[in-house]
Amino acid sequence: MGIKDLLRFMKPYILPIHIQKYAGKRVGIDAYSWLHKGAYSCSMELCLDTDGKKKLRYIDYFMHRINLLQHYEIIPIVVLDGGHMPCKAATGDERQRKRKANFDAAMAKLKEGNVGAATELFQRAVSVTSSMAHQLVEVLKSENVEFIVAPYEADAQLAYLSSLELEQGGIAAVITEDSDLLAYGCKAVIFKMDRYGKGEELILDNVFQAVDQKPSFQNFDQELFTAMCVLAGCDFLPSVPGVGISRAHAFISKYQSVERVLSVLKTKKGKLFPDNYSSSLVEAVSVFQHARVYDFDAKKLKYLKPLSQSLLDLPVEQLEFLGPDLTPSVAAAIAEGKVDPITMEAFNRFSVSKTPLKTPVRSFKEQEKSGSFLERIELKRTADEAMIDPEAVLKEPKYSKQDLDLHKLVLQPNKDQMVIRTGNPSLIPNNNPFKIRKTDEMNMESEEYGLQQLKVSFGTKSEGMDVSCSSPNSKEHDCSEGQKEVIIDLSKLVDDSGVKQDCEKNREEEGFESTEDDVVEIQGHVNITTKRVRGAKPRTESFKVKTSSTCSENKKAKINKKSSILDFFHRL
């Protein structure tokens, strides 16, 4: 939702620019915007979780834009969303239901054979999942693109980076579609950046300094501006009925103080003014000012802006609304993309895996991002696959039978079973001209993700879980085109043979040859204690962990398409 009507209201201050303006500078990117847009190019594939490269087109979209920035010598800093703020309004159930309805309608159209109508409906059903985010993180890692997973809102983290000096790792501007960045006090924000690098920019200082410009913010400071945003209605607090951006601005201009505006509003609105509105507004403004963010240098959480005395006087428990505190190690693990910020599960070396949470209440964003029905994830792109004719892919008859099977899985998301198909995560779209990968880097990564990953925690209550996953030994990079397949049988609830067969079938279809020779297996037990920092009770669970790796050596030679940056821009 952002700040209701803020961008329209601020239109006079929003000017067209080209990102070239930021050549040589560091620029922050609100990953959610691009993930969401990119998802449109493959919404059906994402919803159905089909196998194949088309599902990863959102990565293509994202990386093409990263490449665009790099072409203009901009240093992109990708910021991803982390956990959810406790105070976030629970407006999501409605959207979630709509998505589900669109998904069901899309499946119906698909059964009828009306692919066009289905595609349209899938576009309304698609949402950004944490699997997608993590998949992106893996590609960013492999491409050496700087990224950070915010402890909570990416917006707050971006605003924090924007407040830092360049030498401290600060950024000169933020690219986003979200008006919240302004409420957080981001100095320079670029909206609606297109594929050529054109966008619309708002410089906050220009707003405060402008004379003879309407609407006028001459007597505003950042706090009043943020208060205006909250009054107009934001994610943390809906506005008082009848108050929108114009009236919010008028009130703040006139009374120059949050307290006075609130008391006037109270007498004016009478019964329409909610009892706890004043305290909620002050809290919401505080979140925009002091939200918890990650300090990359100190490697711990800190506040976007140092706490005021009145906040410092509060007992620590009452500061939870700024984002619950996280221990430095947890905060760092989240920031570096090693731990899922919502479930607190360690990410698998190759992919994301998790069952839907069984906690009674899940917020909208939580459901949206943790992938309510997209529990299967694949990263199995190979160079071979990249050679497949797109036409042929489209003609594959998989949309009939296989998707019905998938649909069953979708309708029973609680089944404690999933199949994770993984491949070399470093493989980025083959049409990607900036694919430069150094082998030693890859090996370093593999070490970093080594056996410690056996200590992963799994956020389920299942017992006796068998985890088969690819062993991250250095060898596998010698056969980076090889494919790994992981099957997790979390319970005996479901007969897994069907799924396994599907996998085998896929392997054949894709010409995958598994050689038993290089299968490595490690088996053992690990005891895991998961400390759920946000609200839930700590758990200790015991899992049987089995690791195996399958690599195929005799893969076709990689296509050595010499794709230069110029090639890429010619295609644009």
Partner DNA sequence: AGCTAGTACTCAC
Partner DNA sequence: GTACTAGCT
- Residues lying near DNA in the complex (CB under 7 A): 1-8, 36-38, 40-41, 57, 60-61, 64, 123-124, 177-180, 191, 194-195, 233, 235, 239, 241-248, 390
In contact, 76 and 19? CB cutoff 8 Å: no
- The smaller minimum CB distance to DNA, of residues 13 and 40, is found at 40
Residue 562 CB, nearest approach to DNA (Å): 20
Residue positions counted in the chain? 572
The two structure tokens encoding residue 537: 């009770």
- The smaller minimum CB distance to DNA, of residues 125 and 322, is found at 125
From the list 415, 529, 543, 521, the residue with the least C-alpha distance to 467 is 543
- The smaller minimum CB distance to DNA, of residues 111 and 124, is found at 124
Residue 41 CB, nearest approach to DNA (Å): 4
Residue 224 CB, nearest approach to DNA (Å): 16
Q: What is the DSSP letter of 346?
A: B
Alpha-carbon distance 36 to 564, whole Å? Answer: 27
Residue 6 CB, nearest approach to DNA (Å): 6
Q: Which residues, 6 or more positions from 478, have their beta carbon under 8 angstroms from its beta carbon?
A: 551, 553
- The smaller minimum CB distance to DNA, of residues 86 and 169, is found at 86
Residue 546 CB, nearest approach to DNA (Å): 39
Pairing of β 146-149 and β 377-378: unpaired
Burial class (CB in 10 A: 0-12, 13-18, 19+), 167: exposed
- The smaller minimum CB distance to DNA, of residues 401 and 571, is found at 571
Name the β-bridge partners of 422: 484
Annotate 33-54 with DSSP letters as a single string.
HHHHHHGGGGHHHHHHT-SSGG
Coil, strand or helix at 144:
coil
In contact, 3 and 183? CB cutoff 8 Å: yes
- The smaller minimum CB distance to DNA, of residues 138 and 235, is found at 235
- The smaller minimum CB distance to DNA, of residues 88 and 398, is found at 88
Residue 59 CB, nearest approach to DNA (Å): 10
Coil, strand or helix at 523:
strand
- The smaller minimum CB distance to DNA, of residues 297 and 391, is found at 391
Residue 243 CB, nearest approach to DNA (Å): 6
Alpha-carbon distance 524 to 438, whole Å? Answer: 33
From the list 260, 268, 220, the residue with the least C-alpha distance to 240 is 268
Residue 239 CB, nearest approach to DNA (Å): 6
Alpha-carbon distance 411 to 330, whole Å? Answer: 34
Residue 135 CB, nearest approach to DNA (Å): 16
- The smaller minimum CB distance to DNA, of residues 93 and 521, is found at 93
Burial call 227-239: b when 16+ CB within 10 Å, e when fewer: bbbbbbbbbbbbb
